[in-house]
């Protein structure tokens, strides 16, 4: 609980912004002094109303002087901050300490960069604040519209003012120091220019919100219920603008004022996805981390304005400050609100027995209309329209239209027989469209009935088949004066009609134009003035009829909107669908960049920047009992013929620390990053050194394998999500920045680095800056060639690039582009256990990424679309191994009861596979005889088949198929513990496994019986390596423990 001052200040003439000063340590100070300030800004007197308010927040923190002075003065509450120059980083460092601001510093001088980087590491801030080289070519390394606040403290002669404006978010702020030329800010095109004094004098400007962008403030766009955005910047998706992790599959999002509000309720920046605040609407009294949940059907969806989120919590109708989530007003409704509408300063609440209107700024009730079961309300020009009448009580259903200003009835009509079947309504241009939807898979009985909003007279009755597969609904979409509908699909005789979108003249009912469209599934169509959204991610250009289907991901199940086109982007939420290998998580997709489609460039002619350092060492690795790569070898077998320890005695522990000691919304996004399994990566061991990545601090660390003493640290220019690969005295790893690094493994000095990303550009992903073409930390080495992949999903940002390079010098041997998915019929649901991106591993003579296999010499791609197992031979005999058992990328959301976010681990050597069953409490041994003619079905099932099997009590998992012919099975933990197998290694003739609660065990490979056990801190996922008869154990809290004799 916090007490603070709410400062209502006119930083924009058209927007009241609410700021706060928080009392330190969350303590209540009754003697808090009330202030009254008068500030002169832009030659206008601005009154500052200071209110003494009780504030409750999910992120109580002590606002520093820097945050109060910089953020509050310019109106930025959290987000991405860019500072040019590193002469003084104290202000941005103070912002980062709140856990609300992600900071990138760009600096010209290399020595200054290293000194600043060290200072930030020493303060425990690196990752939340990072520093990189300022590019001399005049380009800022960011996508457009992603930076909330820019501070320029030194002259930037190579970067034009327009370039700063390009990367700034709409309504983002720029501060320019006095040392920068006076006309610089004017040249940016920003508005609301003014001076502020914060220790030194700054000029401040704000980027205007573009006229061709639109918001989506209600579940169906706006208070009129017309699911059509006026955003003409939205176009066919080509790029990932931002992506974050998925806690759960949730429906419902609204956006206004540069903020997205999800379910109930999590708030993100609309343009970069950074988490801003959350507040549990369903259980407001609970403390701790917000658990994302859908709102119940009886709770209305929140609606938004630039300044407020209007929502019901604990049966109370509230307005929440859009910057902080704090309660601003409580609205006194007669009964509980069930539906909310907001327009032009008026909030309308549709309650159990009334419709009530309030002044949104003051919470003053404007009028109240008593009604029986009011529902399906819409708000148009000067009117509120709704239905009333409880059918169960024998009351007639009546259409009612009342005056928006007075609450007086304009007309009501109960004569239309279809009124009792209405499920939604839309207001547009003096007309009200009532939708009659079956919300089932059948086609008949769906219709749109249009009445005059002036007198209730009938204008049009349009009966048709909605072009949906499931939960079909008649949806009226008005663009200008035309009614657009999506139609087709199965009719009453199960005949499938073509899916099309048609425009209809409202007065005559005549069809004016018809275009092809995609089949919608469990989500209705939405539109912009230029495009209709249907199918998986199919956009029909309503001007030309051309259909563009670039299925980076798909819409989520929703009765309102599976996609949200707003702010120039397309927003999508997590989903359980397994139609094809799609991008997962909360995402925002952008149209093609103005410079053109990277996917159309000839990959053979692309140039990838290569920078050399010192000469590579002349050294050849010889030790066979090392563990030089993630999961040891190029098959990623997690096994070794060398023996592991026979005793479980701790020899040394090195505490490398958590990613950060900070708390706050951005840290929560770090913790929900599915690619990073802990503060440090799983270890690798080679030539007397142990290596880990300290992922969120962008650092690779080398330690003495015998003592744990840190030998060197290297900071990359982005996250390193998995352990490096050690080869011939080289330490190779990829970075989420889109770069690949090669260091001297003994000294940590740079040998070479290569930009694998085709463009030096950063977006926000999982709470940090990353490239649209990130590279996994673990580089694959096969036959003196280094392989890695750069990208997120094969249809995004021009595709995924697969590289083969010389490991010693970084010279390119070949590069190929993956820009397809094998599925043609997307509704076959053939993407179960098929990852859109994965770590590379050896498969036969090729290099595999999930089900794609690339020839190791040419890069030529082949694929078996249904193959969920691969035949891997890391000795004289082979085993059938489930692809991607290490769970590197995120999985789909839960679709059957026994689902877990991580897969069951396996370890294999030659023809023996040790695995854990689904639930990760049982291990088994499976011996193969593939050379002797044993047949194994590698084709996997559909998502539909998995669901059907689960409902019958089966366990439709790959581990179940493998264990059908198991030599033995055994449970390893007490079921009451609810402990899972989180690490599994097969070494020599023993099995080493560790549980999520820290139980470490040695078991016999012969019969699975327990040999020894020990209690340690909880292991991080897949966090065991074995080398030189020692076991190296990475913990969830950032420690590396060496265990042996």
**DSSP letter string over 728-795?**
TTEEEEE-TTSEEEEEETTT--EEEEEE-SSS--BEEETTEEE-SS-B-SB-EEETTEEEEEE-S-TT
62 and 198 share a domain? yes
982 and 1003 share a domain? yes
957 and 851 share a domain? yes
φ and ψ at 416, to 5 degrees?
-85, 125
**Does 219 map to a domain?**
no
CA distance 583 to 835: 9
**218: which DSSP letter?**
B
CA distance 697 to 660: 8
471 and 374 share a domain? yes
Q: What CATH number is given to the structural domain containing 200?
A: 3.40.50.150
| Contact in structure between 559 and 471 (CB atoms under 8 Å) | yes
CA distance 155 to 168: 18
| Contact in structure between 835 and 827 (CB atoms under 8 Å) | no
**Does 216 map to a domain?**
no
Residue 928: domain span: 604-1044
| Contact in structure between 406 and 428 (CB atoms under 8 Å) | no
197 and 269 share a domain? no
966 and 852 share a domain? yes
CA distance 38 to 45: 7
Query: What pLDDT score was predicted for residue 69?
Result: 56
pLDDT digits (tens, 9 = 90+) for 980-1008: 999 999 999 999 999 999 999 999 999 99
**Does 268 map to a domain?**
yes
Query: What pLDDT score was predicted for residue 104?
Result: 98
Q: What's the number of domains the chain is made of?
A: 3
Neighbours of 960 (CB within 10 A): 15
CA distance 427 to 447: 16
Query: What pLDDT score was predicted for residue 46?
Result: 29
Query: What pLDDT score was predicted for residue 829?
Result: 79
φ and ψ at 919, to 5 degrees?
100, -25
| Contact in structure between 216 and 562 (CB atoms under 8 Å) | no
| Contact in structure between 397 and 371 (CB atoms under 8 Å) | no
586 and 630 share a domain? no
pLDDT digits (tens, 9 = 90+) for 66-107: 545 576 677 778 999 999 999 899 999 999 999 999 999 999
872 and 971 share a domain? yes
**Does 218 map to a domain?**
no
959 and 931 share a domain? yes
φ and ψ at 1006, to 5 degrees?
-70, -45
Query: What pLDDT score was predicted for residue 68?
Result: 52
154 and 256 share a domain? no
CA distance 318 to 950: 42
Single residue among 571, 592, 613 that ends a domain in this structure: 592
**Does 215 map to a domain?**
no
Structure tokens at 106: 């760009």
φ and ψ at 459, to 5 degrees?
-115, -45
Residue closest to 175 by CA, chosen among 201, 157, 155, 199: 201
Q: Residue 162, class by beta-carbon neighbours within 10 Å (0-12 exposed, 13-18 middle, 19+ buried)?
A: exposed
**158: which DSSP letter?**
T
Single residue among 562, 592, 622 that ends a domain in this structure: 592
Q: Residue 624, class by beta-carbon neighbours within 10 Å (0-12 exposed, 13-18 middle, 19+ buried)?
A: exposed
**Does 578 map to a domain?**
yes
**944: which DSSP letter?**
H
Neighbours of 54 (CB within 10 A): 11
CA distance 572 to 48: 39
Residue closest to 700 by CA, chosen among 745, 640, 739: 745
Query: What pLDDT score was predicted for residue 66?
Result: 52
| Contact in structure between 573 and 563 (CB atoms under 8 Å) | no
Starting at the earlier edge strand, list the strands of the sheet with 730-734.
610-612, 750-755, 739-744, 730-734, 725-727
Starting at the earlier edge strand, list the strands of the sheet with 383-388.
375-380, 383-388, 398-403, 409-413
Q: What is the mean pLDDT of each run of 10 residues along the chain (1045 residues)?
A: 29 32 30 28 29 32 51 81 93 93 95 96 96 91 97 83 96 90 87 86 92 97 97 97 88 94 93 95 78 83 96 95 95 94 96 96 97 96 95 94 95 96 96 95 90 97 93 94 95 90 96 94 93 94 95 89 95 88 94 90 94 92 88 97 97 96 94 95 97 98 98 98 97 98 98 97 97 98 97 96 98 97 80 94 97 97 95 96 96 85 96 95 97 96 90 93 97 92 98 97 98 97 97 98 94
Residue closest to 227 by CA, chosen among 11, 474, 446: 474
Q: What CATH number is given to the structural domain containing 781?
A: 2.140.10.10
| Contact in structure between 815 and 608 (CB atoms under 8 Å) | yes
**Does 967 map to a domain?**
yes
Structure tokens at 47: 């009154």
CA distance 627 to 619: 17
**Does 212 map to a domain?**
no
CA distance 256 to 567: 9
Inter-CA distances, 929 with 588, 933, 959, 988, 1005, Å = 48, 7, 18, 20, 18
Check residue 288 and give left, alpha or beta (phi > 0: left; psi -120 to 50: alpha): left
578 and 637 share a domain? no
Single residue among 535, 565, 592 that ends a domain in this structure: 592
Query: What pLDDT score was predicted for residue 45?
Result: 27
Instruction: Return the sign of the alpha-carbon dihedral for residues 457, 459, 465, 468.
Output: negative
Inter-CA distances, 549 with 88, 90, 467, 554, 870, Å = 48, 47, 16, 10, 31
CA distance 495 to 64: 66
540 and 688 share a domain? no
Structure tokens at 566: 């707003």
Query: What pLDDT score was predicted for residue 133?
Result: 94
pTM of the model: 0.92
Residue closest to 271 by CA, chosen among 766, 753, 763: 763
Q: Residue 876, class by beta-carbon neighbours within 10 Å (0-12 exposed, 13-18 middle, 19+ buried)?
A: exposed
Residue closest to 417 by CA, chosen among 447, 373, 439: 447
Neighbours of 990 (CB within 10 A): 20
């Amino acid at each position: 609980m916090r007490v603070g001052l709410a400062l209502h200040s006119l930083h924009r003439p058209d927007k009241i912004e609410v700021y706060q000063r928080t009392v330190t340590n969350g303590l209540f100070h009754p003697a808090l002094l009330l202030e009254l300030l008068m500030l002169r800004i832009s030659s206008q007197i601005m009154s500052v109303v200071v209110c003494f308010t009780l504030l409750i927040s999910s992120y109580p923190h002590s606002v520093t002087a820097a945050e109060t002075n910089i953020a509050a003065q310019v109106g930025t509450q959290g987000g991405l901050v860019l500072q040019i120059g590193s002469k003084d980083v104290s202000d941005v460092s103070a912002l980062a300490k709140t856990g609300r601001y992600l900071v990138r510093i760009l600096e010209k001088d290399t020595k200054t960069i290293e000194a600043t980087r060290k200072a930030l590491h020493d303060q425990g801030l690196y990752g939340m604040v990072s520093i990189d080289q300022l590019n001399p070519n005049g380009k800022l390394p960011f996508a457009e519209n992603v930076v909330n606040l820019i501070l320029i403290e030194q002259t930037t002669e190579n970067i034009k003012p327009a370039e700063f404006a390009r990367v700034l978010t709409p309504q983002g702020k720029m501060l320019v120091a006095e040392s920068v030329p006076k006309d610089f800010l004017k040249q940016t095109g920003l508005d609301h220019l003014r001076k502020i004094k914060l220790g030194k004098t700054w000029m401040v400007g704000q980027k205007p919100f573009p006229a061709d962008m639109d918001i989506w403030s209600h579940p169906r766009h706006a208070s009129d219920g017309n699911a059509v955005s006026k955003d003409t910047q939205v176009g066919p998706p080509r790029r990932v603008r931002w992506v974050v992790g998925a806690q759960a599959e949730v429906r419902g999002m609204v956006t206004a004022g540069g903020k997205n509000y999800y379910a109930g309720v999590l708030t993100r920046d609309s343009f970069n996805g950074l988490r801003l605040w959350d507040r549990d609407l369903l259980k407001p009294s609970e403390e701790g981390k917000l658990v994302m949940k859908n709102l119940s059907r009886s709770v209305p969806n929140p609606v938004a304005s630039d300044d407020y989120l209007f929502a019901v919590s604990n049966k109370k109708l509230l307005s929440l400050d859009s910057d902080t989530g704090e309660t601003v007003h409580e609205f006194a409704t007669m009964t509980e609100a069930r539906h909310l509408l907001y327009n032009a300063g008026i909030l309308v609440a549709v309650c159990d027995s009334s419709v009530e209107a309030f002044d949104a700024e003051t919470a003053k009730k404007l009028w109240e209309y008593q009604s029986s079961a009011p529902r399906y309300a819409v708000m148009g020009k000067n009117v509120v329209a709704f239905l009333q009448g409880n059918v169960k009580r024998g009351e007639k259903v009546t259409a009612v239209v009342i005056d928006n200003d007075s609450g007086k009835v304009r007309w009501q009509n109960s004569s239309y027989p279809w009124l009792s079947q209405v499920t939604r309504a839309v207001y547009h241009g003096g007309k009200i469209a009532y939708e009659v939807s079956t919300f089932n898979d059948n086609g008949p009985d769906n219709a749109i009935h249009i009445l005059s909003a002036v007198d209730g007279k009938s204008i049009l009755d349009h009966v048709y088949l909605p072009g949906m597969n499931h939960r079909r609904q008649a949806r009226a979409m008005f663009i200008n004066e035309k009614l657009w509908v999506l139609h087709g699909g199965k009719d009453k005789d199960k005949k499938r009609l073509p899916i099309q979108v048609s425009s209809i003249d409202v007065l005559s009912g005549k069809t004016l134009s018809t275009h092809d469209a995609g089949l919608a599934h469990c989500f209705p169509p939405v539109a912009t003035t230029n495009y209709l959204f249907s199918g998986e991610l199919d956009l029909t250009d309503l001007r030309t009829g051309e259909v563009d289907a670039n299925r980076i991901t798909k819409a989520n199940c929703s009765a309102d909107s599976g996609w949200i086109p707003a702010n120039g982007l397309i927003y999508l939420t997590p989903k359980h669908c397994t139609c094809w290998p799609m991008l997962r998580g909360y995402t925002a997709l952008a149209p093609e960049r103005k410079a053109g489609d990277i996917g159309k460039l000839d990959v053979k002619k692309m140039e990838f920047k290569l920078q050399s350092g010192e000469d590579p060492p002349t050294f050849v690795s010889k030790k066979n009992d090392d563990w030089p790569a993630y999961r040891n070898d190029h098959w990623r077998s997690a096994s070794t013929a060398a023996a592991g320890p026979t005793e479980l005695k701790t020899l040394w522990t090195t505490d490398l620390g958590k990613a950060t000691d900070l708390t706050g919304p951005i840290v929560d996004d770090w913790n929900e990053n599915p690619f990073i399994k802990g503060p440090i990566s799983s270890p690798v061991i080679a030539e007397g050194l142990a290596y880990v990545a300290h992922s969120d601090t962008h650092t690779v660390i080398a330690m003495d394998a015998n003592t744990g003493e840190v030998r060197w640290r290297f900071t990359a220019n982005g996250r390193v999500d998995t352990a490096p690969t050690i080869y011939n005295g080289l330490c190779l790893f990829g970075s989420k920045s889109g770069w690949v690094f090669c260091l001297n493994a003994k000294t940590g000095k740079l040998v070479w680095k290569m930009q694998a990303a085709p463009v030096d550009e950063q977006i926000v992903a999982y709470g940090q800056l990353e490239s649209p073409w990130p590279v996994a930390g673990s580089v694959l080495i096969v036959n003196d060639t280094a392989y890695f992949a750069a990208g997120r999903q094969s249809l995004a940002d021009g595709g995924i690039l697969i590289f083969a390079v010389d490991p010693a010098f970084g010279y390119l041997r070949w590069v190929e582009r993956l820009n397809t998915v094998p599925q043609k019929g997307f509704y076959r649901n053939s993407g179960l256990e098929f990852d859109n991106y994965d770590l590379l591993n050896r498969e036969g003579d090729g290099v595999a990424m999930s089900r794609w296999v690339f020839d190791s010499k040419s890069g030529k791609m082949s694929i078996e679309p249904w193959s969920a197992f691969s035949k891997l031979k890391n000795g004289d005999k082979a085993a059938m191994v489930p692809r991607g058992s290490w769970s590197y990328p995120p999985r789909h959301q839960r679709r059957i009861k026994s689902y877990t976010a991580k897969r069951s681990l396996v370890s294999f050597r030659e023809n023996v596979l040790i695995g854990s069953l689904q639930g990760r409490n049982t291990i088994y041994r499976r011996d193969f005889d593939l050379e002797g003619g044993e047949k194994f079905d590698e084709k996997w099932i559909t998502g539909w088949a998995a669901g059907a099997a689960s409902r019958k009590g089966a366990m439709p998992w790959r581990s179940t198929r493998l264990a059908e012919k198991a030599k033995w099975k055994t449970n390893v933990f007490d079921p009451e513990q609810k402990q899972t197998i989180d690490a599994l290694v097969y070494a020599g003739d023993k099995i080493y496994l560790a549980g999520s609660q820290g139980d470490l065990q040695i078991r016999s490979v012969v019969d699975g019986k327990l040999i020894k056990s020990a209690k340690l801190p909880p292991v991080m996922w897949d966090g065991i390596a074995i080398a030189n008869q020692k076991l190296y154990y990475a913990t969830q809290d950032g420690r590396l423990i060496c265990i042996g004799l």
